[in-house]
Structure 1
Amino acid sequence: MVIIIFFAASWYLSLFSQTFFQHRYAAHGAFTMNKGWERFFFIFTYITQGSSYMSPRAYGVMHRLHHAHTDTELDPHSPSYSSNIFSMMWDTRTVYQQVLHGKMEVEPRYTRNLPEWGWFDRFANSALSRLLWVAAYVLFFIVFATNPYQYLLLPIIVTMGAFHGAIVNWFAHKYGYINFKLRNTAMNLLFVDVLMLGESYHNNHHKHPSSVNFGRRWFEVDPVYYVIRLLSFLKVIRLSHQPKAC
């Protein structure tokens, strides 16, 4: 039971950091926060994502490129230009590493107003950091696993970010329904998205990229939207755009 709880906590906390801090804040600027809170969420994201941590700056650049070039050869992750899901995720990793280490020329419009914390990101993305996290996960499983089958969850925890990315970037461009006709293949994968905390409302998101609420219809529940409203009420963040009702 401990392993299952740990897996569920890792899934949702890692996903929350991705959709709240890296996606809605860094990539789209849907809200703002002061430097102190920004540093807090850098650390929070690192702790919750562990071995699959991604630099908010590099993530933001890559995601902006995705929106600008969706379903073209310049898209960092497109099922239209990858033969399978593993190929797409490897291509995504390659682009991420190039952006992270400054080996890819990026137009200034894709780098404006991105959160940066240079030395922290260098450590968090280092091989040492990732190996320490993997060692911690393995030790946790050795101590708390009560069934050998529970070790099947270990590779998912180690590569959690890749799993989240694959679900949205592959399946939400192949399966689902649409609310808006777009010039790309983005679809809403789930009707009630509790699994991906609103991230699977991909068609809605591509129509309104900077909206804090990824849901658009009454049944499209975006749990993170309500957390954002609470943080706005508490003055932790400031909304950049007026929220739109479902």
Structure 2
Amino acid sequence: MAILVFLILHWYFSLFFQSVFHHRYAAHNMFTMSKFWERIFYIGCFLTQGSSYISAYAYGLMHRLHHVHTDKPEDPHSPHNDPNPFLMMWTTRNSYINIHVGNTLVENKYKKDLPEWESFDKIAHNWVVRVLWILIYILIYAWLATAWWQWLFLPITIIMGSFQGMAVNWWAHKFGYENFKMSNTSKNILPFDFIFWGEAYHNNHHKYPTTPNNARRWFEWDMGFQSMRLLQLFRIIKIKRLAV
């Protein structure tokens, strides 16, 4: 079942960069790092997200708007604006593209301290590069797949980053439990988050959006925060606040 091993590794490596770099670093500035390491993370995002690569700058800006307009019509990725997760994914894609190309006017106060590597994004964000990644994935599946049904995972591989974002944002505003009563519908999907790298604690995150540790109760465990602690131990990043 080599293709399943590949899929699992792709899921967790891609999710690591999306959770730690895009979400916690770009959108929420939970830690600092040198320009050198910031660019290493950019490259890591490109290598793990591949055909679904997104700009840390545009994502960070889009996600900040999500927190400002949660569950409202202006929310760029809310399940309450679309009837199903696939339409929400399409809405999110359009919101992201409009921010990336500058069609969406955003106040300057939301643009503060966003990472930006414009020259790299021009290459990684190019449609030709995306097509090349898709061809690479097809070759990997041709090499590893041992049954026809394993090819059904290929679309998930191609849109991995978008699929992960959809999964968290759809489910976490639809199903789960609440530790905190909020004016929005954010929920915690899993009591022990072994799938979404700590991003499943969405209700906790909306309550404390700048706190590095999304876990709040004794049975909750935030893999993203633990990976940040490890990165800090190796002096790659410096966490701004201790978890509370």
Which position in structure 2 is the counterpart of 1:90?
Answer: 90
Matched, 1:131 2:124: no
How far the C-alpha of 1:23 sits from its partner, in A, is 0.2
What stretches of structure 2 of length at least 5 have no aligned partner? none
Which position in structure 1 is the counterpart of 2:237?
Answer: 237
Structure-1 separation of matches of 2:20 and 2:67: 17
Say which SS state the counterpart of residue 172 (structure 2) adopts: helix
Structure-1 separation of matches of 2:6 and 2:55: 23
Structure-2 separation of matches of 1:235 and 1:228: 10
Q: Which amino acid letter does the alignment assign opposite residue 134 of structure 2?
A: V
Structure-2 separation of matches of 1:235 and 1:109: 30
The CA deviation string for residues 38-96 of structure 1, in whole angstroms up to 9 with x for no partner, is: 00000011101111111100000000000000010110011222122122111100010
Structure-1 separation of matches of 2:122 and 2:110: 20
Matched, 1:50 2:58: no
Structure-2 separation of matches of 1:194 and 1:146: 27
Say which SS state the counterpart of residue 105 (structure 1) adopts: coil
Of the structure 1 ranges 30-39 and 95-104, higher mean CA displacement relative to structure 2 is found in 95-104
Structure-2 separation of matches of 1:83 and 1:148: 31
Matched, 1:212 2:212: yes
Of the structure 1 ranges 18-27 and 230-239, higher mean CA displacement relative to structure 2 is found in 230-239
Say which SS state the counterpart of residue 143 (structure 2) adopts: helix
Matched, 1:197 2:191: no
Structure-1 separation of matches of 2:80 and 2:41: 34
Which position in structure 2 is the counterpart of 1:75?
Answer: 75
How far the C-alpha of 1:167 sits from its partner, in A, is 1.2
How far the C-alpha of 1:241 sits from its partner, in A, is 1.3
How far the C-alpha of 1:168 sits from its partner, in A, is 1.2
Structure-2 separation of matches of 1:140 and 1:234: 33
Q: What is the Cα-based RMSD across aligned positions, in Å?
A: 0.8
Say which SS state the counterpart of residue 156 (structure 1) adopts: helix
Which position in structure 2 is the counterpart of 1:4?
Answer: 4
Structure-2 separation of matches of 1:78 and 1:159: 19
| TM-score of the two chains, using structure 1 as the length reference | 0.97
Q: Which amino acid letter does the alignment assign opposite residue 2 of structure 2?
A: V
Say which SS state the counterpart of residue 177 (structure 1) adopts: coil
Structure-1 separation of matches of 2:45 and 2:161: 11
Structure-1 separation of matches of 2:169 and 2:226: 24
Q: Which amino acid letter does the alignment assign opposite residue 28 of structure 1?
A: H
Q: Which amino acid letter does the alignment assign opposite residue 89 of structure 1?
A: M
Of the structure 1 ranges 210-219 and 32-41, higher mean CA displacement relative to structure 2 is found in 210-219
Runs of 4+ in 1 over 2 A off after TM superposition: none
Aligned residues: 244
Residues 126-205 of structure 1: matches in 2 within 5 Å?
Answer: 126-205=126-205
Q: Which amino acid letter does the alignment assign opposite residue 205 of structure 1?
A: H
| TM-score of the two chains, using structure 2 as the length reference | 0.98
Instruction: Work out the percentage of aligned pairs sharing the same amino acid.
Output: 50
